[in-house]
Amino acid sequence: MTRTEVSVAILVLLVVLALGGMWIGWRGRRRRSEGVVPALPEAPAGLGTARLGPLDAVYVSTTRAGDWLDRVPAHGLGVRSPATVEVFDAGVRIGRTGAPDVFVPAAALRGATTAPGMAGKVVGGEGLVVLTWQADPDDPRGLDTGLRPRHAADRPRLVEAVAALIDVTPGTPGQEEKP
């Protein structure tokens, strides 16, 4: 073997080891995050009145609430994908291409805002819509799900529709029902 062939073989081995380490780390992170999100909520048969949508968007990722870099890979929540977002009386349905759909029940929603980015996408300004919700009632911290609507005009509409849903959800801690 020549010196070049040995160098290439070592480089290939290092790349394979690095990729293997990343894969093992991602699997471990997914297992740990399944304790935070034991199962995704199922969409009910009757979603109620459509309040907004469908809107074309990119599902960016889901992170632990308040930590935009702590991605949650359990149940495919860490997978970026094209999506359609719809807001119904029963909650928010995020239909994803190539990954499991996500349904956030209205009672689990805690907030909606815009942000410059989160794990998987930084756009600057206020380009992402972030939904804060609680997948597990025993987890006081909750989750943040980031969405990048295709049209900028859809961002405030989505935030307003989710905020209105939170304001009228009976039994939401800290929220009053609007008259």
Domain ranges of the chain: 50-167
pLDDT at residue 173 in the model: 45
Q: How far is CA 168 from CA 9, 88, 156, 175, in A?
A: 63, 12, 18, 8
Q: Which of 32-46, 121-135, 145-159 has the highest mean pLDDT?
A: 145-159
Q: Which residues have a Cβ under 8 Å from the Cβ of 21 and sit 6 or more positions away? A: none
Tell me the C-alpha distance between 28 and 13, whole Å.
23
- For the segment 36-89, what is each residue's pLDDT rounded down to a tens digit? 777 888 888 889 999 998 999 999 999 988 888 888 888 888 889 999 999 999
pLDDT at residue 69 in the model: 84
Mean pLDDT, to the nearest integer, of 21-27?
79
pLDDT at residue 86 in the model: 96
The separation between CA 167 and the C-alpha centre of its own chain, rounded to angstroms, equals 22
The CATH number, out of the four listed (2.30.29.30, 3.90.1150.10, 3.20.20.70, 3.40.50.1220), of the domain defined by the range 50-167 = 2.30.29.30
Label residue 33 by pLDDT band (50, 70, 90): low
pLDDT at residue 38 in the model: 74
Q: Is the pLDDT of residue 131 over 50?
A: yes
Tell me the C-alpha distance between 133 and 30, whole Å.
19
Task: Supply the mean pLDDT for the chain.
Answer: 86
Nearest CA among 111, 118, 114, 120 for reference residue 149 = 114
Nearest CA among 66, 70, 79 for reference residue 29 = 70
Burial category of 63 from C-beta neighbours within 10 Å (exposed 0-12, middle 13-18, buried 19 and up): buried
Separate counts of helices (H) and strands (E) for the chain: 2, 9
Q: Is the pLDDT of residue 162 over 90?
A: yes
Name residue, tokens 């349905």.
93
pLDDT at residue 40 in the model: 84
Mean pLDDT, to the nearest integer, of 96-102?
91
Give me the amino acid identity at 44.
P
Q: Is the pLDDT of residue 91 over 70?
A: yes
Sheet holding 102-105: strands in order across?
A: 102-105, 91-96, 81-88, 50-64, 143-149, 128-133, 109-115
How much of the chain exceeds pLDDT 90, in percent? Answer: 49
Mean pLDDT, to the nearest integer, of 106-124?
88
Q: Is the pLDDT of residue 160 over 90?
A: yes
